[in-house]
């Protein structure tokens, strides 16, 4: 058919329903909501308490993950929204939960994260910009803690904080690479003590992880209190509570904790809350949103960022342990362009060059898809492959993938056209997932919490990434000893790794072999309750590309926008 209008044009063409009318059929009343306009609301924490008292969440969880993507992403968020719509078209009771976008990618490479085409959440321009202010609140709370810390040092440093052993940088919600490494405190004694500092993206702040794992205000405060921001001259941890900053930070986050609810183009309620990336953080939306959705529906469709080696691994080894949520089925999103990207062993990526038909390259790229299928099966969950069809894809390319999955990999697969057709384009996929989710699931995380820190890291590196082993740099060895002493050897691990490859080398496509994972540093996210493991050259503050999306945007005199996608 003709070309599809832009995401923004499609979004503007839809007459949305009042948000109270969208959620009422699922059991949320008007006074359960804090209305933020007619199309957006936050769910009051009292309503969540009421849902908890009504009994256990009935919903089955369908986790949407992907193969190793091109830098543009292969359609997990589009598929999550489309699948939620398709399930409702099948008469199933289904809700969607996705993360809220960061302004970094919106003005950078990937653009927004509100889905696309006829599988978007609305109002896409609000959601992709300031939305309900959660990211701004997190940035302010993060920087309040940083300010109080430096002020404590200036005002006499009673806690004897080691100035060169501070683990709490500043945060910004913008891909501003020049702020990665900074020096603060210049300007003489009136300003403070000069020291190295830096910024991380708000999505990578421990407060983001805390917001995504907290189950209420008390838990939020307890988690914030436990955050380790520095060590003193004796090497003992200094926490947010030691600084007396717990309640001030919690005050800034008390509204951000409430999950946001909006609607998809077809009127399915969608929770859009929390926004950790899956390379530099744990990569899934808030547990509190998943919990509300699972109470209100039979199926919750939720996404995990980047490939299954990142978001899905963390959902299953970290998030499922903290919350009452585990995957009953997994939708693994594949795209012809990503398969060709691996098949042609392309690096650096030139996604436009992947539009030409090349069935052979599709076949050559299937090894990456197969590795993700086998990874997910290790967790005991049924996998369905969703071939997310792009306009340029040919029948031959799409059929090659579907047939390979069914004939060679032994997993159900379906072409998905939810971008071009909305829920209608995901009916076959939804039917496969209902069948998979309704079967008994033998879900199991991949490692025991009692395993040593090294063993946990080696398990993920060898079983999921395909490494031969792990090389711990000397600092990382010291970190392991100290963290074991501090009693952090029985918590999950959250690996920060490039999303461009299954390995820790972005240029390696397909299924890299004969390589060892490099671990540089391990530090505790004591508030979140897991260890962060930094590998190779992962960046916690991304930069802008040569042609940022920002430079193609336009604000028209009537207030409408173009170039936001």
Contact residues toward ligand XPO (CB under 6 A) are 73, 76-77, 110, 113, 277-278, 283, 305-306
113 vs 519 by CB, closer to ligand ADP: 113
According to DSSP, the β-strands at 161-166 and 228-232 are antiparallel
Residue 72 touches ligand ADP, criterion: CB under 6 A: yes
Stretch that binds ligand ADP, among 66-74, 402-410, 461-469, 474-482 (CB under 6 A): 66-74
Residue of 389, 397, 403, 387 lying closest to 356 (CA atoms): 397
| Residue selected from 16, 40, 70, 77 as contacting Mg ion according to rule CB under 5 A | 77
Residue 113 touches ligand ADP, criterion: CB under 6 A: yes
Residue 70 touches ligand ADP, criterion: CB under 6 A: no
| Residue selected from 32, 74, 266, 358 as contacting ligand ADP according to rule CB under 6 A | 74
Crossing angle for the helix pair 427-438 and 76-89, nearest 10 degrees?
Answer: 80
CA pair distance 11, 528, nearest whole angstrom: 36
Q: Give the sign of the dihedral formed by CA 237, CA 239, CA 241, CA 245.
A: positive
Where does 36-93 show beta strands of DSSP type E? 41-43, 60-66
Please report, for residues 309, 327, 368, 534, the alpha-carbon distance to residue 464 in angstroms, rounded to integers and kept in the order given. Answer: 6, 17, 12, 16
Least distance from C-beta 98 to ligand ADP, angstroms? 8
| Residue selected from 75, 327, 365, 512 as contacting ligand ADP according to rule CB under 6 A | 75
Least distance from C-beta 66 to ligand XPO, angstroms? 7
57 vs 75 by CB, closer to ligand XPO: 75
Instruction: Report what 277 binds from Mg ion, ligand XPO, ligand ADP, none; CB cut-off 5-8 Å by kind.
Output: ligand XPO
Q: Give the sign of the dihedral formed by CA 132, CA 134, CA 139, CA 142.
A: positive
Least distance from C-beta 281 to ligand XPO, angstroms? 8
Please report, for residues 27, 257, 293, 437, the alpha-carbon distance to residue 30 in angstroms, rounded to integers and kept in the order given. Answer: 10, 19, 16, 31
Stretch that binds ligand ADP, among 113-121, 165-173, 265-273, 519-527 (CB under 6 A): 113-121
CA pair distance 140, 134, nearest whole angstrom: 10
Least distance from C-beta 73 to ligand XPO, angstroms? 5
User: How many residues of this chain bind ligand ADP (CB under 6 A)?
Assistant: 19
Residue 76 touches ligand ADP, criterion: CB under 6 A: yes
CA pair distance 452, 206, nearest whole angstrom: 23
Stretch that binds ligand ADP, among 253-261, 268-276, 387-395, 482-490 (CB under 6 A): 387-395
Instruction: Report what 140 binds from Mg ion, ligand XPO, ligand ADP, none; CB cut-off 5-8 Å by kind.
Output: none
Q: Per CB under 5 A, which of residues 92..121 are in contact with Mg ion?
A: 113
Please report, for residues 45, 47, 126, 292, 426, the alpha-carbon distance to residue 22 in angstroms, rounded to integers and kept in the order given. Answer: 19, 16, 18, 15, 21
Instruction: Report what 565 binds from ligand XPO, Mg ion, ligand ADP, none; CB cut-off 5-8 Å by kind.
Output: ligand ADP
Least distance from C-beta 119 to ligand ADP, angstroms? 8
Stretch that binds ligand ADP, among 64-72, 207-215, 321-329, 399-407 (CB under 6 A): 64-72
Least distance from C-beta 230 to ligand ADP, angstroms? 35
CA pair distance 340, 336, nearest whole angstrom: 6
Burial class (CB in 10 A: 0-12, 13-18, 19+), 295: buried
Instruction: Report what 389 binds from Mg ion, ligand XPO, ligand ADP, none; CB cut-off 5-8 Å by kind.
Output: ligand ADP
Residue of 502, 509, 496 lying closest to 536 (CA atoms): 496
Least distance from C-beta 264 to ligand ADP, angstroms? 13
Crossing angle for the helix pair 287-296 and 45-53, nearest 10 degrees?
Answer: 50
Instruction: Report what 283 binds from Mg ion, ligand XPO, ligand ADP, none; CB cut-off 5-8 Å by kind.
Output: ligand XPO
422 vs 527 by CB, closer to ligand ADP: 422
CA pair distance 338, 390, nearest whole angstrom: 11
118 vs 231 by CB, closer to Mg ion: 118
Three-state SS sequence of 129-197: CCCCCHHHHHHHHHHHHHHHHHHHHHCCCCCCEEEEEECCCEEECCCCHHHCCEEECCCCCCCCCCEEE
Q: Per CB under 6 A, which of residues 389..428 are in contact with ligand ADP?
A: 389-390, 419
Q: Phi/psi zone of residue 326: left (φ > 0), alpha (ψ -120 to 50 degrees), beta? A: beta
Residues in Cβ contact with 487 at an 8 Å cutoff, skipping those fewer than 6 apart = none
Residue 388 touches ligand ADP, criterion: CB under 6 A: yes
77 vs 525 by CB, closer to Mg ion: 77
Binding mask 31-60 for ligand ADP (x = CB under 6 A): ------------------------------
Coil/strand/helix, residue 526: coil
Least distance from C-beta 72 to ligand XPO, angstroms? 9
Q: Read off the tokens for 182.
A: 């900074």
Instruction: Give residue for tokens 């409702």.
Output: 88
541 forms bridges with which residues in the sheet? none
67 vs 243 by CB, closer to ligand ADP: 67
CA pair distance 472, 522, nearest whole angstrom: 10
Least distance from C-beta 203 to ligand XPO, angstroms? 8
Residues forming contacts to Mg ion in the complex (CB under 5 A) are 77, 113
Residues forming contacts to ligand ADP in the complex (CB under 6 A) are 7, 66, 69, 72-78, 111, 113, 115-116, 388-390, 419, 565
């Amino acid at each position: 058919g003709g070309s599809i209008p832009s995401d923004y044009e499609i979004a503007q063409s839809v007459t949305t329903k009042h948000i109270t009318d969208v959620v009422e059929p699922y059991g949320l009343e008007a006074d359960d909501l804090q209305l933020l306009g007619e199309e957006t609301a936050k769910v009051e924490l009292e309503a969540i308490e009421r849902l908890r008292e009504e009994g256990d969440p009935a919903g089955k969880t369908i986790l949407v993950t992907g193969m190793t993507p091109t830098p543009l992403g292969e359609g997990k968020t589009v598929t999550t929204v489309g699948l939620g719509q398709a399930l409702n078209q099948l008469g199933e009771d289904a809700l969607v939960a996705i993360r809220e976008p960061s302004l970094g990618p919106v003005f950078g490479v990937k653009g927004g994260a509100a889905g696309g085409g006829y599988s978007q959440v609305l109002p896409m321009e609000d959601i992709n910009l300031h939305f309900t202010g959660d990211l701004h609140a997190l940035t302010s709370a993060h920087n309040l803690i940083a300010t109080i810390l430096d002020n404590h040092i200036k005002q006499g440093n009673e806690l004897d904080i080691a100035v060169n052993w501070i683990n709490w940088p500043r945060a910004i919600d913008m891909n501003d690479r020049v702020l990665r490494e900074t020096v603060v405190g210049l300007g003489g004694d009136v300003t403070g003590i000069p020291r190295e500092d830096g910024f991380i993206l708000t999505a990578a702040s421990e407060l983001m992880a805390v917001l995504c794992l907290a189950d209420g205000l008390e838990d939020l405060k307890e988690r914030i209190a436990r955050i380790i921001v520095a060590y003193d001259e004796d090497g003992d941890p200094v926490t947010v509570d030691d600084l007396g900053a717990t309640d001030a930070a919690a005050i800034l986050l008390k509204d951000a904790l409430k999950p946001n609810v909006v609607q998809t183009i077809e009127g399915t309620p969608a929770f859009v809350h929390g926004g950790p990336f899956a390379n530099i953080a744990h990569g899934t939306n808030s547990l509190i949103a998943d919990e509300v959705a699972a109470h209100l529906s039979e199926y919750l469709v939720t996404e995990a960022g980047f490939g299954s080696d990142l978001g899905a691994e963390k959902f299953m080894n970290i998030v499922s342990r903290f919350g009452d949520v585990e995957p009953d089925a997994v939708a693994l999103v594949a795209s012809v362009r990503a398969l060709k990207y691996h098949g042609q062993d392309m690096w650096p990526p030139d996604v436009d060059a992947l539009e030409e038909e090349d069935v052979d390259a599709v076949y050559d790229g299937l090894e990456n898809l197969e590795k993700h299928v086998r990874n997910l099966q290790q967790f005991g969950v049924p996998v369905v492959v969703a071939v997310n069809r792009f306009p340029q894809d040919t029948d031959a390319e799409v059929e090659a993938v579907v047939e390979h999955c069914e004939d060679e990999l032994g997993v159900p697969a379906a072409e998905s056209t939810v971008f071009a057709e909305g829920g209608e384009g995901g009916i076959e996929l939804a039917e496969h997932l209902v069948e998979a989710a309704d079967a008994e699931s033998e879900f199991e995380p991949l490692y025991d919490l009692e395993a040593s820190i090294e063993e946990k890291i080696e398990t993920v590196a060898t079983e999921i990434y395909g490494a031969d082993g792990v090389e711990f740099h000397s600092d990382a060895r010291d970190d392991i000893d100290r963290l074991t002493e501090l009693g952090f050897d029985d918590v999950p691990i959250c690996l920060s790794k490039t999303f461009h490859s299954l390995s820790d080398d972005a240029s390696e496509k397909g299924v890299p072999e004969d390589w060892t994972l490099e671990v540089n540093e391990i530090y505790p996210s004591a508030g979140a309750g897991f260890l962060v493991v930094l590998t190779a050259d992962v960046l916690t503050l991304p930069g802008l590309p040569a042609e940022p999306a920002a430079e193609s945007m336009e604000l028209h005199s009537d207030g409408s926008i173009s170039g936001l996608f």
